[in-house]
Structures are given as structure tokens and as C-alpha cells.
Amino acid sequence: MSNSTLPSSGLYAITDSTLHTGRALEQAAARAIAGGATMIQYRDKSEDGDRRHREAAMLVRVCRNHGVPMIVNDDVELALASDADGVHIGRDDTDLLAARARLGDNYILGVSCYNSVELAEAAQRNGADYVAFGSMFSSTTKPAATHGEIATLESARQRINLPIVAIGGITPENGASLLDAGVDFLAVVRGVFGHDDPAEPARRYARLFCRQAREEES
């Protein structure tokens, strides 16, 4: 049974089954963590249940070896079966209250809130551990996604006591503006896993958090 603690902030690297599967996925995730990812999400929308179970269990092992939580996208039962650390759900996925009841209190539960602080407030009331906003910028992973706004992040920071995740088209060049708006995590798919060695771009994202920490201390 998982009893993982959500990191305070950092790069949230999300896998893409069109980029890596099997052994290549294991290696890519390990390299992303080596570069500074503080959390990994396994995202695979395929119908290949056997492969998804194998890969989820494999990523759990990789993440546990490095002390990093492994979150499963949209699939509570897969998270339980693989002993993952949590689940991320969206608007069209499992109901939040049902997911929390099934998981219990020892699992991390994240919720997509798109561009709505009201959805985030409801998620906070109903047991979420973090809320996610976006797509903040144009995204090749979800080109038709709801567009998020900086003003929404700033409002959420005033009204939400949970960690805030931003996702969608985030680069090392535009990510600083999201951290300045109060975001705790930058969630990235192809910006990390679309590179031959995910450690290199992961380091570039991780440096944004180092810069923010220095500025807060000064």
C-alpha cells in the first residue's frame, strides 16, 4: 500500500506512450529523474491492459529506487494494482469522491481544473492533494485543450491551499512566468520525454526552481 508524500514543488514529468514503451520507457523515466524531476506520471491511453500493468509496475520500481512518487493517469484500479503512489483524474474520468473512497487517504490524488478556480475549490473540498491548470500554452500533446490563463493561476494561489500544477506547452523559457504566478509544479510531457536524453531538458526545468528559491531567500 502506498503512503507517499507529495513533494513541495518541482518538475512533474509525464510519460507519453507514443514516445517510449517497455525498456525505453524505464530508461527515459530514470533519466528524467536524474535530471531533476520530482514526480513522474504514467500516461498511456491505449487498450493494451497487459502492457500498461507491466509498465506501471516497472515505473513504480524506478521511482521508488529514486524516492520519487509515481502517479497513474486516469486509472484508479491500475494505480492500486501496480502499487503506484497516486492517481491524476480529469473532468471526464473517475469522480473525485469515488476515487478518494476507493484509494483511501494514503494515495496522492490530483485533479485537472483547466481554467477554473471554482473547480479547484471543489477539488480541495472533496479531498484532492493537488490541482492542475492548463493548457497554459499551445501544446502538441493536447492541441484542443482548454486554454489556461496567468490570472487564473494568480487567483488560485490566493484561494487554494493545495499545491498548484501548471501544464501545457511549458518550456524552460516560459516556465518562470508560471512560477512567478504561484505555481508549485511544472508538468511537462514532450518538453522532457521528446528528447534523446530526458535528463538534459529536465535539468533546464529544475534550474527554474533553483532560481525561484534563490529569489525568495534574497
Annotated catalytic residue 142? yes
Taking the C-alpha atoms of 163, 215, 193 and 108 in order, what is their torsion angle to the nearest 10 degrees?
A: -20
Whether 45 is catalytic is no
Among 17, 43, 177, 204, which one carries the catalytic annotation? 43
Task: Decide if 43 is catalytic.
Answer: yes
Which one of the listed residues 51, 64, 142, 203 is annotated catalytic? 142
Q: Choosing from 112, 116, 135, 139, which is the catalytic residue?
A: 112
**Catalytic machinery residues:** 43, 112, 142
